[in-house]
A and B are shown apart, each in its own frame.
Chain A
Amino acid sequence: MLLLALDTATPAVTVALHDGTDVVASSAQVDARRHGELLLPAVDRLLAGAGLRLDAVTGIVVGVGPGPYTGLRVGLMTADTFGLALGVPVYGLCTLDGLAYASDLAGPFVVATDARRKEVYWARYADPRTRLSDPAVDRPADIADEVAGLPAVGAGALLYPDAFPDVREPEHVSAAALAGLAAERLAAGEELAAPRPLYLRRPDAQVPKNYKVVTPK
């Protein structure tokens, strides 16, 4: 087994190779505006560095968000296309689950990433492998009660110390963690979800600004 994992649902562009037992190689770059440019060269370097060839890859793992849409789609489109070209399955995992899996917290906690517009994408966990709530998008102040007293993981928690006073590692998701989680679930015979993006917000029904209203009101 050789899984190629990638995630672009946060400011990090992160890629990893996993042989089913261990992480073979991984890398991450943080640049919220250049997912499209950085991802493929990162995969290329990853393979070259590990001395592995693309035709050895048996499956693709991709973080399906939630996350800012433009970057999120870079990872999903790349994963889908690798699946098509290589003829291998593509597995989707919630990006927040990757962050949870990479934490070393024993008890209940929260994962929060930056959703921009003064909101966070978040979910509650019983432990690093068990999510208790569907991923949601909210203003930190509006969920203060639900997350009160819980340690929090992720860059979204760092941004809002009032709602998340107890912030733990890691800050960013890693493809290595996603791959590890996927390998574990596949080994347990679990079926992994198809790679469908978790947008959580409706599209802004905004026609581009050059479309002006012509009739005076």
Chain B
Amino acid sequence: MADEPLVLGIETSCDETGVGVVRGTTLLADAIASSVDEHARFGGVVPEVASRAHLEAMVPTIDRALKEAGVSPKDLDGIAVTAGPGLAGALLVGVSAAKTYAYALGKPLYGVNHLASHICVDQLEHGALPEPTMALLVSGGHSSLLLSTDITADVRPMGATIDDAAGEAFDKIARVLNLGFPGGPVIDRYAREGDPKAIAFPRGLTGPRDPVYDFSFSGLKTSVARWIEAKRTAGEEVPVRDVAASFQEAVVDVLTRKAVRACKDEGVDHLMIGGGVAANSRLRALAQERCEAAGIRLRVPRPKLCTDNGAMVAALGAEMVARGRAASSWDLSADSSLPVTEPHVPGRPHDHDHVHETAKDNLYS
């Protein structure tokens, strides 16, 4: 246990300042500072507001994570950070902090992919990831179906949303229903008391000639909004619980159907679900039901690990160290559109050695 890599991870791709500490696949700390309340009145994340909040929160959150983990920074084996994808300015705050921290401590730096981190976090909950693993990532920023044979080196996109992310649709519908932001938890709550079959909302991209693994939520969103508008125009009361339940059912029906189909087609007997929408109770229940029926083992981390956090970044960083992946160089940049196929951003081999030699020289008298 003690010789498993001890890694601190920093996540700032959206509105959560996350710092986690992980030893191998064991979670030691998961400190979060969120600016979500500051975004609520805008109905979505405002990048500049998020970036300002990251700068304020970073040092206290690092302190808190180290205290929670009960480790000394000098014992760390590496610093990992989300290099992308995400909001460019927000990512840059985390990358700047991680680089400086790694450099000043004389530790290797690992710039890692946010999506791969969402998958890897499950190691903290259910132990080593099966290889291969099918992953359904659903949040306000992404809806992807990914297949990974090695989370540090090989992540293949199977399908993705062609328009809105699933979480975005939740936010939009919550706004139309005047339920506030973020929409996921509140829709889930109302839906529990509603009838999911009350209104037949469309299932996007499920026709026989549609792409098998891609998603579309824009049509659904519009259709729900129009339905609500029509009720209001007619002077009728909007049945909020039934709308929430029927809308939610349309989303999770498509997500689980396509995920299970991908598992079957690829002969993969494990499905992991991550991202903020994985906290949705109906998504969990329906996925469980359909996976059981198909003989697939479902792995969903606890909700706090599904939303953006530093522990997931640390988890992937620890895996990078364990598998001897190359560290990033000191000129690592934030890449708002880092492709999902790049689990980490290794430094160029030559530069990397050179810079690390210099760094060690600079640090130790």
Contacts from A to B (Cβ < 8 Å): 34, 36-41, 43-44, 47-48, 52-56, 69-70, 73-74, 76-78, 80-86, 197, 199, 203-208, 210-212, 214-216
Contact A207 B46 (CB under 8 A): yes
A54 and B104 contact, Cβ closer than 8 Å, known pairs A39-B96, A73-B55, A211-B168: yes
What B residues does A215 contact at CB under 8 A? 176, 225-226, 228-229
| Residue contact A77 to B89, C-beta cutoff 8 Å | no
| Distance in angstroms between the alpha carbons of A44 and B99 in the assembled complex | 12
Q: Which residues of A contact B42 (CB under 8 A)?
A: 205, 207
A85 touches B355 (CB 8 A): no
User: Which one, B58-66, B144-152, B283-291, is touching chain A?
Assistant: B58-66
The answer to whether B362 touches A54 (Cβ under 8 A) is yes
Q: Is A206 a contact of B364 with CB atoms below 8 Å? A: no
Per-position 1/0 for B34-45, Cβ under 8 A of A: 000000001111
Which residues from B are CB-within-8-Å of A203?
46, 48-49, 52
Contact A37 B331 (CB under 8 A): yes
Q: What are the residues of chain A within 8 A of B221 when measuring CB–CB?
A: 214
A81 B59 Cβ-Cβ under 8 A:
yes
Contact check, B47 vs A77: say whether CB atoms are below 8 A apart.
no
Taking each of B95, B96, B172, B358, which has the highest tally of chain A beta carbons within 10 Å of its own beta carbon?
Answer: B96
The answer to whether B296 has its CB under 8 Å from any CB of chain A is no
Q: A48–B361 contact, CB under 8 A?
A: yes
Known: A54-B363, A55-B365, A206-B46. A70 touches B104 (CB 8 A): no
Which residues in B have some Cβ–Cβ distance to A below 8 Å? 42-49, 51-52, 55, 58-59, 62-63, 73, 87-89, 92-93, 95-97, 99-101, 103-105, 164, 168, 171-172, 176, 221-222, 225-226, 228-229, 330-334, 355, 358-359, 361-365
Whether A77 contacts B330 by the Cβ 8 Å rule is no
CB distance from A37 to the nearest CB of B (A): 4
Q: Does A80 lie within 8 Å of B46, measured CB to CB?
A: no
A211 to B225, CA, bound (A): 14
Pairwise interchain contact B364-A53, C-beta atoms closer than 8 A? yes
Distance in angstroms between the alpha carbons of A77 and B89 in the assembled complex? 12
A-B contact pairs, 23 of them (CB 8 A): A36-B92, A40-B103, A40-B331, A44-B330, A44-B359, A47-B362, A48-B361, A53-B362, A53-B365, A54-B103, A69-B89, A73-B55, A74-B92, A77-B93, A77-B97, A84-B62, A85-B100, A86-B104, A199-B52, A203-B46, A207-B46, A212-B172, A214-B222
Q: Report A-chain residues with C-beta under 8 Å of the C-beta of B48.
A: 69, 203-204, 206
Known: A53-B363, A69-B89. A80 touches B97 (CB 8 A): yes
Residues of A close to B332: CB separation below 8 A:
37
**With known contacts A84-B101, A204-B46, A77–B364 Cβ distance under 8 A:** no
Check A81 against B104 for contact (C-beta < 8 Å). Answer: yes
Chain B: CB-nearest residue to A8 = B96
Smallest beta-carbon distance B174→chain A, Å: 12
Distance of B101 from chain A, by nearest CB (Å): 5
With A85-B105, A216-B229 known as contacts, the answer to whether A210 contacts B362 (CB < 8 A) is no
Do the beta carbons of B225 and A214 come within 8 Å of each other?
yes
Assess the B100–A78 pair: CB atoms within 8 A. Answer: yes
Q: Given the complex of chains A and B, what is the CA–CA distance between A53 and B364 in angstroms?
A: 7
